[in-house]
Chains A and B, each alone.
Chain A
Amino acid sequence: MDFKFTEEQELIRKNVREFCVKNVEPIAAEIDENSRHPAELFKKLSDGGWMGIPIPQEYGGAGADFLTSIIVVEELSRSCSSTGFTVSTHASIMCMMILLFGTEEQKKIYLIPMAEGKRLGAFCLTEPGAGTDVMAVTTTAVLDGNDYVISGTKTFTSNGPIAGTFIVFAWTDKSAGRKGMSTFIVPRETPGLRVGEHFKKMGLRSSQTSEIIFKDCRVPKNNLLGKEGAGLPMAMAGFDGGRVGIAAQCIGILQAALDESIRYSKERIQFGSPIARNQAIAWMIADMATELSAARFLTYHAAWLKDQKLPFSKEAAMAKLYASEAAMRHTVKAVQIHGGYGYCKGAKVERLMRDAKITEIYEGTSEAQRMVISGNVLR
């Protein structure tokens, strides 16, 4: 087993870190406070080629392996988990879906600008009545002449208010059950697509989340992604990669929590010595470091399997489950270590704890992950 990163991966990690220190760290607290999408930062991410890392160079990406893209997400998330999340899902889900299932024409028109970071993608599957229960989706796409007409409401759409290209799941044949949903590429400008309610969230506040409402939204047949009826299997395929991306986001959060906890515990003096000397605190930090390491290796291994083109659904679910629960556990501990200061705005750990919670929920709840894992293991 070779547990080493390649020289390229080590250099890339260093470069992302430098980018983060220069461009992300200085604004992370403000964009969280103001729930602001930092367009200026995403322009720099786009110019630097950070938006389509695992996409082949011929389609505007960097042509890196998936593990490399995970390293980038981890480092970005260490500075700002909203940014890490946006970059991750944009590349590993939205871009990846078009790469895997699109026609050459669709790749040229839609994938290239997305991989170059010129347009952000958004994933429209979840609805007010359909979360973990994807079959409860009600949005329909009816074939009418040369177009499909999409109607329905999607919710919790990340990047909803700012995305340029939407990937939308709708029933084309409800009677076909799991083989009745199809996927469509819908550009923002399409009449009949409207951004609905913006959500104010506990954490991940810089990421823009909203409803997307489709009312008689016409898209040409050419915008069908993949085959009719193949929507659900495509979504499932996309989720695996997405989950590893979330796991990477979590290890970034964990690393940040650990960095802050170590620093604070060495500086904070009570009863005449730094609190790091107290076993209670030292043990909290020991647990944090250990679980971070465990989460890391689950994540890197899942990414490695994907790069080897080996099945990785179970490992992706395990990585996401473990890393997200560890991130939640230990950001709470990190606030505890910081005491009163950790509870106040201005402390990084305050934001980390709020950011961590959603990782147990989106991209498949921890419960859904357990279903995947047990389904796999109990076969």
Chain B
Amino acid sequence: MRCRFVPTVIACFKWVVDEAYIRLRPSGDLDFSSVDYKIGEYDRNAIEAAVRSKEALGGKAIAVTVSMPEATKGVKDALSRGTDEAYFVADSSFGNLESSQTAFILAEVVRTRIQQYDLIICGEGSSDLYAQQVGPRLAEKLGIPCISFVQKFSITKGQLVAERRVEEGVEVITAPLPALVTVLPDINVPRIPGVKDTLMAGRKPTVKITKDELPPMGQPLLRTVSITASRMERSCEMFGTDAQEIARFVGSLRKRGVVG
């Protein structure tokens, strides 16, 4: 008797500052006062991949996030994209978690709450800090294979086959399930949820977990000293458009030794 493969796929996402709203003060400091939040770009791809898997194979797509309590909008967003349920670990101290801490908490949730799953999908990195560590760290904590920078994958009963993009080219890897993949942005084009999807999102089950319900996470392994505006200011010498100015321009380049 063949058992039908009905997978449970988990998509991890982060509710991040939308960098388009970061302003620069006249002093040169960064101004986060009017920032809005969003699900990170790459995480949208992860959620989309999980939902498409569910649409093709059946089973369940679960969204998981670790964030501040205000991220309820993010949870709704994730649910509006087609996931069936969400796990939301919330605490006001979770605003600036370090990758190892996030991975620890996610591992706890997956291991002790979700328990049965076939595949975990993460974005290749978060669009705020882009450390690109949570996926691989989470896989190690759970003791499951990790295939990162995946542009295409398929799962069948017990098996993952993934195309992984590295500098030299593409590797086709196979691994037993359960496994974890981190996905590249060109793996899919995330859908734009319709009004109905957004309205129904709030009705889907969300499991809320507080910090105290989980074992204590460790201290951050990397300490952030500062986040300052990245400056790329060179003293731009301007030139006109007439022949004389063009000659002067080329002359300046020659003087700097960058033109023969």
User: A interface vs B, CB < 8 Å?
Assistant: 7-8, 10-12, 14-15, 18-19, 22, 48-50, 53, 57, 62-64, 68, 72
Contacts and interface: CB of A to CB of B under 8 A. Distances in A.
B196 A62 contact: yes
Contacts of B80: 11
B192 A8 contact: no
B72 interface: yes
A64 B72 contact: no
A7 B192 contact: no
A1 B193 CA distance: 30
B155 to A, nearest CB: 28
Contacts of A19: 192
Nearest to B201: A8
B164 interface: no
A69 to B, nearest CB: 8
Given A12-B198, A49-B194, A68-B195, 10 more contacts: A8-B201, A10-B73, A11-B80, A15-B194, A18-B192, A49-B195, A49-B197, A53-B195, A62-B199, A64-B195
B71 to A, nearest CB: 10
B199 A8 contact: yes
A152 to B, nearest CB: 37
B202 interface: yes
A13 B199 CA distance: 12
Nearest to A7: B73
* Residue of B77, B194, B195, B197 with highest tally of chain A CB at under 10 A: B195
Q: Is the interface of B mostly helix, strand, loop or mixed?
A: helix
B158 to A, nearest CB: 36
Nearest to B191: A48
Interface residues of B, number: 16
13 contacts: A7-B76, A8-B76, A11-B77, A12-B195, A18-B192, A48-B192, A49-B197, A53-B195, A62-B195, A63-B196, A63-B199, A64-B195, A72-B195
A50 to B, nearest CB: 7
Interface in B60-118: 72-73, 76-77, 80
Interface in B172-227: 192-199, 201-202
Contacts of B76: 7-8, 11
A231 B202 CA distance: 39
Nearest to B77: A11
Nearest to B194: A49
B202 A62 contact: no
B196 A8 contact: no
A62 B73 contact: no
A277 to B, nearest CB: 15
B199 A64 contact: yes
A68 B201 CA distance: 15
A261 B95 CA distance: 37
A15 B199 contact: no
A368 B201 CA distance: 42
B224 to A, nearest CB: 29
A64 B192 CA distance: 17
B199 A48 contact: no
B37 to A, nearest CB: 10
Nearest to B197: A49
Given A7-B72, A8-B76, A11-B76, A49 B201 contact: no
Contacts of A8: 76, 198-199, 201-202
A48 B202 CA distance: 19
A57 B195 CA distance: 11
Given A8-B76, A11-B77, A62 B192 contact: no
Instruction: Give the top 6 A-B pairs by smallest Cβ distance, nearest first.
Output: A49-B194, A62-B195, A62-B196, A7-B73, A48-B194, A11-B198
